[in-house]
Amino acid sequence: MSTDESGSRKRAAATKRERTNRVILAAARTLFDQYGYHGVKRDDVAKLARVGTATIFSHYPTKQALAIAAYAPSVLRLMADMEKRLPIMTSPEPYFTTFIWNLAVCLAQQPAMAVALLPLSRDSRSHSEGDEATHVLSFRDLAEFIGKLLMRCTDAHAQDSATLVNDIADFALSGLLTWIVQHPERPGKDAADLMLAHLL
């Protein structure tokens, strides 16, 4: 087999895997939106996506990883938008407030994401890298991002202050996720207001 043929086959396989992945995630979002995190099994997603259960398991070894992957793009977009604004922030507090409101609304509209992220909050600092390696977005990623924004608001630069701010961000994000999971009928803005009242 020539190098061209080998490369062509690899590209075709990657394209097929990506297409299958998009179908799986679309099916997962549909089912999680309709039945909630606990009302969906990976077998259900496989049926709706018209793929084998083994295919779901090969893409997402846990239901938690599947739920996070299904909804992560919206949270990652919020983070990317805020990352672009970081260099131009002269007064970071309004940006931070807006980010927390948008995050809370996003999570409240996609509660399966909150349910999937919440267990990762437990001792997030003691997890090895492999524990969250299957997740597109981890609790730690999001908490550290919130900590970075919070440091800009509080002007914390010393290492001790940065560690404390990151611990506060972990605690606040865990509280936000818990509140959203426990109050599915309430709007995300309520959760954001509660979180911001403790942070600022």
Q: Is residue 66 part of a domain?
A: no
Q: Are residues 129 and 157 in the same domain?
A: yes
Q: Are residues 88 and 146 in the same domain?
A: yes
Q: Are residues 75 and 168 in the same domain?
A: yes
CA distances 129 to 22, 63, 71, 126, Å, are 26, 19, 21, 9
Q: Are residues 162 and 83 in the same domain?
A: yes
Overall number of domains in the chain: 2
Q: Is residue 147 part of a domain?
A: yes
For the chain, what is the radius of gyration of the CA atoms? 19
Q: Alpha-carbon distance 74 to 77, whole Å?
A: 5
Convert the pLDDT of each residue in 81-115 to its tens digit. 999 988 887 888 889 999 999 999 999 999 999 99
Q: Is residue 87 part of a domain?
A: yes
SS3 track for 4-40: HHHHHHHHHHHHHHHHHHHHHHHHHHHHHHHHCHHHC
2 pLDDT tier (thresholds 50, 70, 90): low
Convert the pLDDT of each residue in 133-181 to its tens digit. 557 899 999 999 999 898 888 765 555 577 888 889 999 999 999 999 9
Q: Is residue 121 part of a domain?
A: yes
In Å, the largest CA–CA distance within the chain is: 64
Q: Are residues 55 and 79 in the same domain?
A: no
- Closest CA relative to residue 177, chosen from 104, 126, 125, 127: 104
Q: Are residues 129 and 160 in the same domain?
A: yes
Q: Are residues 2 and 79 in the same domain?
A: no
Which residue segment(s) compose the domain that 171 sits in?
71-199
- Closest CA relative to residue 177, chosen from 94, 22, 67, 25: 67
Q: Indicate the residue among 59, 79, 109 that finishes a domain.
A: 59
Q: Indicate the residue among 59, 88, 104 that finishes a domain.
A: 59
Residue 128 has pLDDT above 50, yes or no: no
Q: Are residues 107 and 158 in the same domain?
A: yes
Q: Are residues 54 and 75 in the same domain?
A: no
Q: Is residue 13 part of a domain?
A: yes
Q: DSSP character for 73?
A: H
Q: Which pLDDT score, from 0 to 100, does residue 79 have?
A: 95
- Give the ranges where 155-187 is alpha helix by DSSP (H): 159-182
Q: Are residues 144 and 183 in the same domain?
A: yes
Q: Are residues 55 and 88 in the same domain?
A: no
Provide the whole-model pTM.
0.84
Convert the pLDDT of each residue in 13-63 to its tens digit. 778 889 999 999 999 999 999 999 999 999 999 999 999 999 999 999 999
CA 46 remoteness from chain centre: 22
Q: Alpha-carbon distance 130 to 61, whole Å?
A: 13
Q: Are residues 77 and 130 in the same domain?
A: yes
